Every structure is written in structure tokens, then in C-alpha cells.
């Protein structure tokens, strides 16, 4: 092999008309396993190029739990664990994304969520290389679950859960009220905003922010 005639990478050739030894792919070549013909699955678009309104995968609890795990890793830092757009990166000054619980995003086709992860959206970069297509759908399913969780009717909840919703049911027993008080469904605002005055990055490290880091960025609404 050392001595046989061969082309070395990036060397020229007199054999081919374009003078290159490295040959371009034959048009239409598809690498094995990357045909990606299911366009709804890979692009989130239908044949007309509109966002799909239905999931191209079967959604069950395993998918949603996987989506939750991926969401908490890749999306929650900005969008927040409950999707309100108040993640840690945002509290430290990044542009605040819209809450997933606004009507526009609740009514957006599921293909839109897939598209945002695949191609990015405004100030948000895409997550195509970190999050593979199946996981993007799993995340979209979990976002739907988050949206549902913030807009569910009391009647959708089982009786025990209903009792935990503050002020929901006059017939809630004292015992259930006590359980709700000790385990609130929604964290107190003080838990959200009481950041330690000492920033996570020690002073002296380039880019470290001072004691003011515990303040809300100015683009955020003051919450009561």
C-alpha cells in the first residue's frame, strides 16, 4: 500500500477533466441510513410545507418522560422548568422567551415547536445538533403536557389532586389543606427570586457578575 499508485487527499489529478483527484458525490447520493423520507418526522412540515398539527410518532408516557428529561436539560435553562420563560439564563440577562402558556403558543401546531428546535427562532439558536429528531418530538410532547398542566380544568384532576388546588374545593378536608400547605403545588415566588447575593461564578473570573446578579434583569415584569 505504501508503494502502490494512489491519490492523496487534496492532490490534483491529470486523469479527470476538472483536475481534482477528490471526486464530488454523484448527484442524488444518499448515505446509508440517512434517506430521511418521512418528511413530517424530520422537518415537522406536511407536503404543503405547513407545520404538522399531529405528532408523527406515537406519544405515550415513556415518550413524555423522555421529553421531560431532555427539556430539563436543553430548554429549562431559558424557558424555566414550567415553561414560563423565566429560566436561570434569562434571570441572568438573556432575552426572555415568551411563556408557553400564552394563547398563541398553546394553539401553535406541534410542528412549530419542532421547527423552532430544528432551525432556531429569533434570538434562540437551534438545537439540531444536540437534540435528535425523535427527542425533539418527545420534547414537543412534554411542552404540550406543560401547557395542559397550566390550563387544565379542575374536573380533569382526580379527586385527591383537586384538593391540592388552592381555593378550588370548599369541601376539602382540613387534612388535605394541611397537605397542600406543607407541599405547595407552585413554588413560592420568594423561592424563585431569592438568589444568593454571592454569584455562582467567583469574583475575578472573567465575565463574573457582582452582587447585583441577584436582581431581576430590567426586561422582566416585577412579580408580586
**Could you list the residues that contact ligand HEC (CB under 6 A)?**
74-75, 77-79, 89, 94-95, 97-98, 105, 113, 116-117, 121-124, 127, 131, 139
* b/e per residue 4-26 (b: at least 16 CB within 10 A): eeeeeeeeeeeeeeeeebeeeee
Residue 143 Cβ, how far from ligand HEC at the closest point, in Å?
6
Residue 62 or 219 with smaller CB distance to ligand HEC: 219
Helix (H, G, I), strand (E, B) or coil at 211: helix
- Measured at CB, which residue is nearest to ligand HEC? 122
Residue 36 Cβ, how far from ligand HEC at the closest point, in Å?
20
Residue 146 Cβ, how far from ligand HEC at the closest point, in Å?
10
Residue 59 or 117 with smaller CB distance to ligand HEC: 117
Contact between 213 and 195 (Cβ < 8 Å): yes
Residue listed under C-alpha cell 415553561: 83
Residue 52 or 113 with smaller CB distance to ligand HEC: 113
Listing DSSP states for 114-127 in one string gives: HHHHHH-BTTBPP-
What angle, 0 to 180 degrees and rounded to 10, lies between the N-to-C axes of helices 61-74 and 133-151?
90
Residue 37 or 103 with smaller CB distance to ligand HEC: 103
Residue 130 or 173 with smaller CB distance to ligand HEC: 130
Residue listed under C-alpha cell 423522555: 66
Residue 117 Cβ, how far from ligand HEC at the closest point, in Å?
5
Amino acid at each position: 500500500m505504501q508503494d502502490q499508485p494512489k491519490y492523496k487527499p487534496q492532490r490534483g489529478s491529470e486523469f479527470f477533466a476538472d483536475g481534482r483527484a477528490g471526486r464530488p458525490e454523484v448527484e442524488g447520493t444518499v448515505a446509508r441510513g440517512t434517506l430521511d423520507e418521512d418528511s413530517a418526522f424530520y422537518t415537522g412540515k406536511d407536503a404543503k410545507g405547513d407545520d404538522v398539527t399531529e405528532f408523527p410518532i406515537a406519544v405515550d408516557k415513556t415518550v413524555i418522560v423522555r421529553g421531560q428529561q431532555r427539556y430539563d436539560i436543553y430548554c429549562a435553562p431559558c424557558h424555566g422548568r414550567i415553561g414560563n420563560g423565566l429560566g436561570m439564563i434569562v434571570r441572568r440577562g438573556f432575552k426572555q422567551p415568551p411563556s408557553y402558556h400564552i394563547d398563541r403558543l398553546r394553539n401553535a401546531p406541534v410542528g412549530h415547536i419542532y421547527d423552532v428546535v430544528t432551525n432556531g427562532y429569533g434570538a434562540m439558536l437551534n438545537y439540531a445538533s444536540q437534540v435528535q429528531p425523535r427527542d425533539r418530538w418527545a420534547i414537543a410532547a412534554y411542552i404540550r403536557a406543560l401547557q395542559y398542566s397550566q390550563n387544565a380544568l379542575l374536573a380533569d384532576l382526580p379527586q385527591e389532586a383537586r384538593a391540592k388546588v388552592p381555593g378550588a374545593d370548599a369541601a376539602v378536608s382540613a387534612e388535605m389543606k394541611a397537605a397542600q400547605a406543607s407541599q405547595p403545588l407552585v413554588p413560592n415566588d420568594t423561592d424563585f427570586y431569592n438568589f444568593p447575593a454571592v454569584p455562582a461564578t467567583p469574583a475575578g473570573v472573567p465575565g463574573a457578575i457582582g452582587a447585583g446578579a441577584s436582581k431581576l434583569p430590567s426586561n422582566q415584569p416585577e412579580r408580586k
